[in-house]
Amino acid sequence: MTLSRQEEIGILLVCTIAQHVPDIVPLSKIAHDHAISVLFLKKIARFLKKAGIIESKEGTGGGYILAKDPISISVLGICNAVSQKKSNRSVLITGPVRCPVRPACLPQNIRFLISETLMQYLSDMTLDQLIKERST
């Protein structure tokens, strides 16, 4: 599994907002600091807002803040909120695909175990942990 550009930027966006708590962070600042299109950030922010990860404040001095405590936001939750490939990810999480040739297909079982382990790791990794890692 690889992270899409959208998932990477979603993680970056939420981490940046978390690092500025309790301040409201405008997308224009994040776009400028990381050379990312404001329109692309708006698209990702909509997904994150819909998932209840961030909240927006409209008007002058507006921007985004976290909707939850950083310890309760998982990296997998961020990825799932912005992912365009949810159907592929649900297959990885729910179980191995049956091999049409053999009932016990080693490559598919290995791929499933790796995916399952990675999904569990991303589910357990919180935004709070990411912020602490970046600051050390």
Q: What CATH number is attached to the domain comprising 67?
A: 1.10.10.10
Confidence (pTM): 0.77
Q: Are 102 and 61 in contact (CB under 8 A)?
A: no
Q: Is residue 64 part of a domain?
A: yes
Q: Is residue 44 part of a domain?
A: yes
Residues 6+ apart with CB under 8 A from 104: none
Count of domains observed in the chain:
1
Q: Is residue 71 part of a domain?
A: yes
For 67-123, write each residue's pLDDT tens digit.
999 999 999 999 999 986 654 444 344 445 566 666 667 777 777 788 788 888 888
For 34-69, write each residue's pLDDT tens digit.
999 999 999 999 999 999 999 999 888 889 999 999
Q: 24 lies in which domain range?
A: 5-87+126-135
Q: Which of 76, 102, 97 is nearest to 3 (CA)?
A: 76
Q: What is the pLDDT of residue 50?
A: 95
